[in-house]
Amino acid sequence: MANEIQEGQPVVINSGKVNNRKQAHGLTHEEMEELHYKQVSGEEIETVSSNNAGDKISDPYFKTEFSEYEIPVHEKHIYHVAEEIRQFKTSGPTPEKTSSATLQKYTKEAYEFMKNNHGFDGKIVHILHNPELETQKQRDQKQQGEGQEGENKGETLAGANTNTVKLPSLGQHEDEDETLRETAKRTPAATPSPAPSAKKK
């Protein structure tokens, strides 16, 4: 049989062309496979610093815990949120914090749902990584790049536009202009005709 699996041969599950579009998790099929391989083999996954941590954290407890928070590269498109229902033990001379913060990761839709349906009520919350800031940054860089290209193009066009086109002077068409003026003088001006009067019965 042609479709028989032979011993020692790799099994190809999807022999067709791999769809290389971004999936729901924000990665292409190939990127997801690469990430999975790194996770299974124990390779180090590349990380970047989050865009809303460090000095941007106002809460002192979150500041000590998440000041140098880094995210895996493949999670740049999701919200990383530090949340805590803060509790203190007040029986001693100084209050002691007994609660601990949790780190939640939300897609854009899940974050909007939580925000609009009071999911963060009663908690102290700080967004450690905001993907909207990331997309805004990319948009600004793109616009800046396009603006730079436009300026370069303008300089090129300005430099290239050294030839001038000689337009005909008005004196060359004086006879045509005179003919038009004469025709306008001879044509009687259109006078509005009076409205027909209504006949009385």
Check: CB of residue 49 under 8 Å from CB of residue 70.
yes
Residue 25 lies in a domain: no
Residue 172 lies in a domain: no
Residue 94 lies in a domain: yes
Q: What is the pLDDT of residues 106-150, one digit of tens each?
A: 999 999 999 999 999 999 999 999 999 878 877 888 888 777 766
Residue 190 lies in a domain: no
As a whole number of angstroms, the distance between CA 94 and CA 88 comes to 10
Residue 76 lies in a domain: yes
Higher pLDDT, 129 or 38: 129
The mean-pLDDT minimum among 62-76, 89-103, 142-156 falls in 142-156
- The pLDDT of residue 164 is 42
Give percent of the chain above pLDDT 90: 27
Residue 173 lies in a domain: no
Residue 106 lies in a domain: yes
Range of the domain at 120: 47-135
Structure tokens at 151: 């300026």
Sorting pLDDT into bands at 50, 70 and 90, what band is 196? low
Residue 6 lies in a domain: no
As a whole number of angstroms, the distance between CA 32 and CA 40 comes to 12
Question: Is the pLDDT confidence value at 166 over 50?
Answer: no
Backbone φ, ψ for residue 30 (5° rounding): -65, -45
**Number of structural domains the chain divides into:** 1
- The pLDDT of residue 155 is 55
- Identify the three-state secondary structure at position 79: strand
Sorting pLDDT into bands at 50, 70 and 90, what band is 73? confident
Counting every residue written for the chain, the total comes to 201
- The pLDDT of residue 15 is 46
- The pLDDT of residue 165 is 42
- The pLDDT of residue 70 is 92
Higher pLDDT, 181 or 5: 181
Instruction: For residue 156, count other CB atoms closer than 10 A to its CB.
Output: 10
Question: Is the pLDDT confidence value at 180 over 70?
Answer: no
Amino acid symbol at 76: K
